[in-house]
Homo-oligomer: A and B are copies of this chain.
């Protein structure tokens, strides 16, 4: 590994400067990504290892980030479960057979990842080859709650009404759905690691819709099941729960070597609450990249100051990079992190 800053930081070892990568760094703000995206639809790109590999490498070349992250979607494992997934134009994911009843849950299949998503594993093998050890490759999945929310709501949601209704009205159905999802996610992440992912991140994108009480009762045990199951796989695990700053202790209790932080909390407060026996990842507001470079630099320095050179900080945005972000500002961000964190 030519650049092992990211993996060292995940293990809370000393580094020459703070590693940085950006959530959704392989994405639409890059003109070279859009060139490919104009020729293929999103799912085709995910399912074609050559294309997935190509866009995965684009930000490594363009931005100089310290890790690559697999180009994929958190909903890819749904098809193997028997759930019909499509991406409507400008509308995000649409699921035509949402899961609402015990019967629906009983019908969900639990396949091996090699059978359900062979293209993801092929992409990982190809990316590792093409990276030639320049930077490590991060694999990822959604977290059980986030996947459940899509499956139950039939797509994105503003209020998670159906999801919460199942949780409270039919806790047994909820529990068996979450168990099946967790099993699928654990198999999926283990297979990614086996195929060559050198770290994995579990995204709980929508869990911020829950109270701490409901998180603890209905979600934490399932997230913990997945994260515990990865403990002996030999790679660092990042656990990112978006908009969950008010229950960080619970998120940390669910597991993860590194806890991902959104931008709604000061990194020093957050790290204290998470505990210094974990790393933290974050946490610049992604829209800061619309500010002038001088403001970006100032905000980068504030976050680095809060991390205080303590080993175990990985710089990132607090959420995915926006598709209208000026590329040169993303480059300026990466440069600023490296420059101002040089030990």
Q: Which residues of A are at the interface with B, using a C-beta cutoff of 8 A?
A: 159-161, 164-165, 168-169, 208, 210-214, 243-247, 263-266, 269, 285, 287-288, 290-292, 295, 299, 302, 318, 322, 324
Contacts and interface: CB of A to CB of B under 8 A. Distances in A.
A287 B246 contact: no
A302 B213 contact: yes
Nearest to A266: B212
Contacts of A161: 287, 290, 322, 324
Contacts of A165: 287, 290-291
Contacts of A211: 263-264, 266, 285, 318
What number of copies of this chain does the assembly contain?
2
Contacts of A214: 285
B290 A264 contact: no
Given A161-B322, A243-B243, A246-B245, A213 B168 contact: no
Given A159-B322, A164-B285, A210-B285, 12 more contacts: A161-B287, A161-B322, A161-B324, A169-B291, A169-B292, A169-B295, A210-B264, A211-B263, A211-B318, A212-B266, A246-B246, A247-B264
A245 B169 CA distance: 28
A81 B280 CA distance: 45
20 contacts: A160-B287, A161-B287, A164-B285, A164-B288, A164-B290, A165-B290, A168-B288, A168-B292, A168-B295, A169-B290, A169-B292, A210-B285, A211-B263, A211-B266, A212-B264, A212-B266, A213-B266, A244-B264, A246-B264, A247-B265
A315 B247 CA distance: 21
A246 B261 CA distance: 12
